[in-house]
Structure 1
Amino acid sequence: MKALFRIVLAAMGVLGLLAVAVVIYATTFLDPNDLKPRLADAVRERTGLELSLNGPLSWTFYPRIGVTVEDASARLPDQSDDDAPFAAFNQAEARLRFAPLLSGNIEVDGFTLDGLRLNLERDEQGRGNWETLIDTVAHQENAPAASTSRRPQRVTTAGERPLTMDVASVQVTDGRVHFDDRQHDREIALSSLALLASNVTSGDAFPLELSFAVESSQPEMTGNVSLKSQASLDLNDAVYTLNGLALKGAARLPALDSARDQNFSLNAPRLVADLNQQRYTFEKAAFDGALHLSSLGEPALPLGGEISGEVSLRDDHAVLTEFALSSGQLLRLTGSGEADQLSDDLHWQGQVEMAPADLRSWLERLGQLPATADAQALQRVGFSSRVEGDRHVARLTDLAIDVDGTALEGEASLGLEAPLLHADLEGSTLDLDRYLPPKATQPPQAEGTPQVRESETAQTTGQKASSSENARALARALDLALALRLEALRVRGIQLENVTLKAQGREGRYRLPELAAELYDGTLRASGTMNVAASSTALSFEPRLADVALQPLLRDALDRDNLFRGTLNARATLSSSFDNNASPLAHLDGKAAFEIADGAMMGINLPGQLCTTAAMLQGNSTSHEWGSDTGFDEFAATFDIVDGVIKNDDLKVALPGIDITGNGQIDLGAQNLDMALAARLVDTADTQGCPVSNTLSRIPLPLHCSGDLKDAPAQWCRFDTGAFRAILQKTAANEGQEKLREHLDRQLEGRLGQRIEEKLGEDSGSNLRNAIKGLFQ
């Protein structure tokens, strides 16, 4: 037995010495550089790459067997020698463990690659230079095997056992990857690329670390990325898994903020890549970042998200089982979805919901908050919808929108490649005044502030010009089809009910085929067009009002409850053409007309005042009781509008016992008016207790109204003494100057003179009395 044991030990020693001798002989007498042509042929046959081994190949021996390759490069088929090679490296070293070779296993002790250079390109048609390599490898894998036998072979010897993978370390240092994307006109460069993995074994998890710096031209960006994970490789099934992935980085994007980095991190419990099935799975991948924008100031805007799903390139299908996007307390967007035909005719669908969020704070931080009359507006905005679409359009169905309590429902389509908005919505009550700019007020100007105000005005003007140009560019490109129905709408204080609005158009030409609403017991109907395709903007608008209660309209629009009552009917045909620097009102053209039926001027009784005056002029008195308002039988006018100037020559107001006519103009561009009115007393049944003589009925009382439209209406009109003098002179010549003068003298020295002084003051009243007397001297 002892002899047998000695024989076995001797045999093992001889075999070991023989293996050592073979290795020593191979590394001593065989020159690895003689293998260069065979290596180049093998690489060409397998991948199509042209391998160039410019540096020496050398063996390494005990304690580890290995080979070192220096200065190697690989070019794609037909690639010019003047172009940078597809791949290259300064040095590569592979080391094998000696002891496992004695048992028939190959265990790689380590692999080191220094100075990797990889050049990737995509042409204008979207084809990458790496696709040639993939096509060649795929062709080799699909080629028929040398043996047609499919039966599994029994392993009977150590040499026939499957090789096991056991790599102590893999290290890549000073790597560089350059990507030139000509299809999208951008370049991306990775530098200082470093990879480190240890104890790499097939099927077992091993630690993996990766880091690199990145630089891009489109968008302009510089940054760095690092990754840590526990990786596992199933080489037989080509399944690669990253467990406990932790990725973090920082990037400088001048388009967002040129002074501060954008920081981000990504953590995922598990990412799986199945290369055989071309399936990629990710579970609860969580993103966290801090967004810096120049307009935001401090602090940074937090962004976070979580996503789970699967992408199958073989099936051209992707599924998002769940996703969430959040920004602190400002935003939470959740949903799910799936997509088909990823590589060709993409189609996707899903569900998305945004919890009511404070949109106002978002817009304020982004510097995009418009001036709103309500400081609480846009603090609660949310929506939910089913979504579907393709590469061009996103379609939202079962859409429900909540804007500060206003509910809108319907469907909409949004353009992803070009501006497009198609929507059919209906909703409850919308108070648009909350979102419009507040009414302008003129703050008191402190001494020494004109220059500051001028600077602020210049800055605001520049911002408005930029915003206007952006809006104009959008309007020229927008494809619009909008239908909106509201139970109630409030705009500039005016209340509309059962509102229907339709607007449509594209390429800068838009139509308003219908605007209809119930308005204070009456109706509003309007249509219009807008053309921004040319260098100037052209507008047309045709509003029509029927049977509208005038008093509540004026109360809500002007906050005046004591002007007029009655039923208003009005119509207009308006148009305007203007450039960016001009006001639409300054170039307004068209025609308009209105009439008020069953109405009254409130808070004043003109017939009573004028009839009392008429009675005194005729030497009479009246005891008639007059009401507080002035009812009228007719109040109507038509207008011609040319270049923003409204002209009228047929204003007519029929009051009980008084006819008022007028003519003149209102200049919208200059914001002023100039009107001449004439009130004539008439002897009718409505003026009982105030009979009017034939002479007095032929004397119109002239008024001249002029001034700035911004002034109060009470400042516009005054008694036109010059016109009244001319009227009296003409009347005196016809009726007998002496008789009329004596009659007026008695009245002016009596009660009428006192009333004039009471109304105008003693000095002004005396001047007017003397002027009237002087007409008949």
Structure 2
Amino acid sequence: MKALFRIVLAAMGVLGLLAVAVVIYATTFLDPNDLKPRLADAVREHTGLELSLNGPLSWTFYPRIGVTVEDASARLPNQKTGEPPFAAFKQAEARLRFAPLLSGNIEVDGFTLDGLRLNLERDAQGRGNWETLIDTAAHQDNVPSASPSRRPQRVTTAGDRPLAMDIASIQVRDGQVHFEDHEHHRDITLSSLALQASNVTSGGSFPLELSFALEGTRPEMSGNVSLKSQANLNLNSALYTLDNLALRGAMHLPNLDDAHDQSFNFNVSRLAADLSQQRYSFDKAVLDGTFYLPSLGEHALPLSGEASGEVSLEDNHAALTSFALNSGQWLRLTGSGDARNLQDDLHWQGQIDMAPADLRSWLERLGKLPATADAQAFQRVGISSKVEGDTHSARFADLAINIDDTTLEGTASLGMDTPRLHADLTGDSLDLDRYLPPKAKQASPTDDAPQPVDSDAAQGTDAENASGEKALALARSLDLALNLRLEALKARALHLENVSLQARGSDGHYRLTSLDADLYDGTLKTSGAMNVGASSPSLSLEPTLTGVALQPLLQDVLGRDDLFRGTLNARATLSSTPGEDNSLLAHLDGKAALEIADGAILGINLPGQLCTTAAMLQGNSTSHEWGSDTEFDQFAANFDIVDGVIQNDDLKVALPGIDIAGSGQVDLKAQTLDMALAARLANTADTQGCPVSATLSRIQLPLHCSGDLGDAPAQWCRFDTDAFRAILQKTVASEGQQTLREHLDRQLEGRLGQRIEEKLGEDSGSNLRNAIKGLFQ
């Protein structure tokens, strides 16, 4: 046994000496530069690159076997002369430990790469120059072996054992990677690239550090990025992990903010890649950044997030087990998600929850805050929903949206590739006026004077115009299907209850299928349409009002409770095509009809004035106490509307003992009215009427109502002297002129004349008396 043991030891010694002799011979008598042509051919065959070894190749011997390559470059096939090579380096050195080779293990003492230069380029069609290498490698994998029928044999030697890699040090110094993307117009360079790793072993953990400076011209940027982690590279199982990954960076983005750097920290508990299973995962990935935006001024925007998940390309599946996004007290968004069929027919689902946040501050900071009538609008906005979708749409189920004091629940669907909004929502109370633009400031008498140009205001107007153009472009392509039910809605100062709305449309043509609501003790039913697809947008409505209390309606819409009261029934067919001034009223057309029952014209008593005048004309007096309003049994009219002007020729007002007919117009743009009224008195026993003679009952008492709609009704109407003169001329032609003239002369010089002056004023009264006398001269 001892003899056998001595023989084995002697054999091992001989083999070791033989190996040493072979290495000594190779390093002493073989010049590595003689291998340059063979190395170039091998690289060309396997990668397609044209390798140029411009510097010398050299090696070292014990205790380390080392190979050094200087000044090497590789060019792509058919690359033009004068262009920078695809890859180049100043010097590369690899060192192997000699002793482990005797036991069949490879232990690399160190690997150093100085002055790496890598040029990556994507053409205008989106193809990268590195894809040539991929295509060549794929072709090599598909080339059949010289002996396809030969089956692999089991090897029981040391070379068949798993590879035991051990690299003491890896260093990349002064590296540079230039990337130019002609398709997306990008030009970015990574410079001063440094990579360092030590004690790199297969299946073991080792420290890894990476840093580089970043410069870009398209887009303009500059900054520095560093990475530290504990890496594990299991070559035999193709499993690679980075533990405790810490990525730090600071970027200067002049297009975003030229005065500040954008900084971020990104930490991952574990980042893993299983190439054999094509599975990738990350655990507790945490982002913490400080960002500056032009709209924020000197104030930084803090943003942090955390997520965990995995992607399996083999199973075509990805999962985001949890994620959270925060920005101080302004935002708290959490959720989870799951996606399947990643490569062919993507389908995803999940849950999102956003606690009520101050969206107004966000929009203001981002410079996207719309003008709202309420300065407190959007201060509490939250959402919770189950979500699912594909590459074409996102669908929300069990949706709950909180907007300030409003809660909406239901379902919704949004288009991912085309603008689309389909929603079925139910809510409590919504004050829409809070979110509409504030009312325009009333013009002052000095507004016609030239004003200095405010550059900020001009810029604001330009921004509003640009925003309007974007909104119009969206409206022209939106696919809309909306069902909305609200307990209460305030819109344009109208208070509606039990609202039910349905709207449909696409390609700029939209239809308000129905809008039903309770309105001031009555009902509103309307339908309409909007066309924004044409060069001139148009709007049409067909509202019907039934049993609506008129006084609170006018109070809310016009802010006036001194106009009318009564129960309103109305219907209309309206349309408008706003011009460059975007005014709906100025271009309003259509027809309308209304009837007011059991109502009153407030602030003026026409029966009292008419009956007092009738009594004076008859030489009588009245002691009746008249109220302050004109109560009527019925008020009815039909209207034609042309370019914002309401025209009427059949106004009828039925008062106790008095019938009033009229015609005229109301100009909605100028906010003025001009109406001619004719009152006919009837002898009635009604206590609200007045006794008149048969002659007087045939005479129409004319009134002319004109003025500003903003004035009180008492300022609108006055007795029409010219019209009354014409009426009297016709009357005296058929009555006894002399008798009537003498009777009127006595009345006009006596108490009647005094009463006329009291009612109309001295000048107007004198004019009326002279006019009446002039009829009989």
Given the two structures, how large is their TM-score scaled by the length of structure 1? 0.89
8 Å Cα contact 2:178-2:188 kept in structure 1: yes
| More moved, 659-668 vs 762-771 | 762-771
The amino acid that maps onto 2:658 is: I
Partner in structure 2 of residue 308 of structure 1: 308
- Which residue of the partner structure matches residue 546 of structure 1? 546
- Displacement, 1:306? 0.6
Query: Quick check: 1:630 aligned with 2:633?
Result: no
Q: What secondary structure, in the 3-state scheme, does the structure 1 residue paired with 2:534 have?
A: coil
Q: Once the 2 structures are TM-superposed, how far is the Cα of residue 693 of structure 1 from its aligned partner?
A: 1.9
- 1:532 is the counterpart of 2:532: yes
TM-score normalised by length of structure 2: 0.89
User: Using the alignment, how far apart are the partners of 2:675 and 2:455 within structure 1?
Assistant: 39
Corresponding position of 1:88: 88
Counterpart residue number, 2:598: 598
Flag the 1:764–1:273 CA change in 2: closer, same or farther, 3 A: same
Does the 8 Å contact 2:657/2:688 carry over to 1?
no
Code of the aligned partner of 1:726: A
Residues 15-40 of structure 1 deviation map (CA, whole Å, 9 limit, x = unaligned) = 88776654443223211122223323
- For the structure 1 residues 749 and 174, does the alpha-carbon distance in structure 2 shift closer, same or farther, using more than 3 Å as the test? farther
Q: What is the one-letter code of the residue matched to 1:719?
A: F
From 142, 150, 156, give the equivalent of 1:153. Answer: 156
Aligned to 2:59: 59
Residue 461 of structure 1 aligns to a residue whose secondary structure is helix
| Match of residue 360 from structure 1 | 360
CA deviations 1:485-529 (Å, max 9, x no partner) are 112212233221221222222222222222222222322222222
What's 1:295 paired with? Answer: 295
Find out whether 1:505 has 2:494 as its counterpart.
no
| 1:584 partner amino acid | L
- What is the aligned partner in structure 1 of residue 620 from structure 2? 620
**Per-residue deviation, 1:484:** 1.2
| Aligned partners of 2:562 and 2:712 also within 8 Å | no
- The whole-number CA distance in structure 2 between the counterparts of 1:28 and 1:362 is 73
Percent identity reads 76
Equivalent residue number for residue 378 of structure 1: 378
Q: Secondary structure at the match of 1:612?
A: helix
Written as runs of structure 1 = structure 2, the 5 A alignment for 1:215-226 is 215=215, 221-226=221-226
Give the Cα separation in 1 of the matches to 2:46 and 2:58.
24
Q: In structure 2, how many angstroms separate the alpha carbons of the residues matched to 1:225 and 1:681?
A: 95
Partner residue, 1:394:
394
In 2: Cα distance, 1:518 partner to 1:160 partner: 86
Secondary structure at 1:552 match in 2: helix
The residue identity in structure 2 corresponding to 1:684 is: T
Alpha carbons of structure 1 residues 130 and 275: separation in structure 2 relative to 1, 3 Å: farther
Per-residue deviation, 1:324: 0.8
Verify the 8 A CA contact 2:602 2:713 in the aligned structure 1. Answer: no
Contact map agreement 1:536 1:580 (CA 8 A) in 2 = no
Alpha-carbon spacing, 1:12–1:151, altered in 2? closer, same or farther (3 Å) = closer
d(CA) in 2 for partners of 1:761, 1:228: 97
Shifted more, 78-87 versus 93-102: the winner is 78-87
Q: For 1:608, what is the secondary structure of its paired residue? A: helix
Within 1, Cα distance between the matches of 2:643 and 2:99? 100
Work out the CA distance in 1 between the residues paired with 2:468 and 2:598: 45
Q: Give me the whole-angstrom Cα distance separating, in 1, the residues matched to 2:47 and 2:86.
A: 12
Q: Is the 8 A contact 1:535 1:579 kept in 2?
A: no
**Does the 8 Å contact 1:659/1:679 carry over to 2?**
yes
CA-CA distance at 1:266 after TM superposition: 0.8
Call closer, same or farther: CA 1:606–1:644 in 2, change over 3 Å. closer
1:586 has 2:589 as partner: no
Q: What's the CA shift for 1:7?
A: 13
Q: Within 2, Cα distance between the matches of 1:460 and 1:375?
A: 18
Find the aligned partners of 1:338 and 1:51 in 2 and give their Cα distance.
46
The answer as to whether partners of 1:624 and 1:689 remain within 8 angstroms in 2 is no
Equivalent residue of 1:593, what SS?
strand
- Deviation by residue 1:736-764 (Cα, 9 ceiling, x = unmatched): 44444443444444444444444454555
SS of 2:554's partner is helix
Shift in Å, 1:265: 1.9
Aligned counterparts of 2:442 and 2:689: Cα–Cα separation in 1: 49
Q: Let me know the Cα RMSD of the aligned residues.
A: 3.6
The 1:733–1:349 alpha-carbon spacing in structure 2 relative to 1, beyond 3 Å, is same
Change over 3 Å in CA distance of 1:528–1:8 after alignment to 2: closer
Matched with 1:200 is 200
Which position in structure 2 is the counterpart of 1:412? Answer: 412
TM-superposed CA distance for 1:338, in Å, is 0.8
The gaps in structure 1 that reach 5 residues or longer are none
Contact (CA 8 Å) 2:347, 2:390: kept in 1 or not?
Answer: yes
Give the total of aligned pairs.
771
Inter-CA distance 588–449: structure 2 relative to 1 (3 Å threshold)? closer
CA distance in 2, matches of 1:257, 1:415: 32
CA contact (8 A) 2:52 2:72 kept: yes
The answer (yes or no) to whether the contact 2:163–2:236 under 8 Å persists in 1 is no
Q: Following TM superposition, by how much is the alpha carbon of 1:385 offset from its aligned partner in structure 2, in angstroms?
A: 0.9
Structure 2 stretches lacking a partner, 5+ long: none
Change (3 A) 1:517 1:179: same
Letter in 1 for 2:723: A
1:687-746 CA-to-partner distances (Å, cap 9, x unmatched) read: 577211233233333333334445555554443333333333443444344444443444
Tell which deviates more after alignment, 464-473 or 93-102.
93-102
Measure, in 1, the Cα distance between the counterparts of 2:626 and 2:711.
31
Question: Residues 636 and 461 of structure 1: is their aligned pair in 2 closer, same or farther, counting only changes over 3 Å?
Answer: farther
Moved more, 731-740 or 690-699: 731-740
User: What is the SS of the residue equivalent to 1:298?
Assistant: coil
Verify the 8 A CA contact 1:180 1:188 in the aligned structure 2. Answer: yes
Structure 2 distance, partners of 1:648, 1:732, is: 31
- Paired residue type of 1:117: R
Helix, strand or coil for the counterpart of 1:287?
A: strand
CA contact (8 A) 1:419 1:474 kept: yes
CA displacement at 1:391 relative to structure 2: 1.9
Offset, 1:186:
4.5
For the Cα contact (< 8 Å) 1:593–1:639, is it kept in 2? yes
> Is 1:566 matched with 2:566?
yes
What is the distance in 2 between the residues matched to 1:582 and 1:119?
Answer: 55
**Distance in 2 separating the partners of 1:544 and 1:218:** 59
2:281 partner SS: strand
Q: CA deviation at 1:267?
A: 1.0
Q: CA deviation at 1:328?
A: 1.1
Residue in structure 2 matched with residue 482 of structure 1 by the alignment: 482
Change (3 A) 1:720 1:445: closer
Letter in structure 2 aligned against 1:743: H
**8 Å contact from structure 2 (residues 549, 567) kept in 1:** yes
**Deviates further, 71-80 or 612-621:** 71-80
Residue pairs, 1:664-703, within 5 angstroms: 664-686=664-686, 690-703=690-703
Q: 2:611 aligns to what SS in structure 1?
A: helix
- Supply the distance in 1 between the matched residues of 2:511 and 2:330 (Cα, whole angstroms): 37
- Deviation digits for residues 58-93 of structure 1 (CA, Å, limit 9, x no counterpart): 224466432122333445567666765543333322
Q: What whole-Å deviation, never above 9, does each CA across 1:368-387 have from its counterpart, x for those lacking one?
A: 32333333222111111111
Q: In structure 1, what is the Cα distance between the partners aligned to 2:414 and 2:23?
A: 70
Partner of 2:27: 27
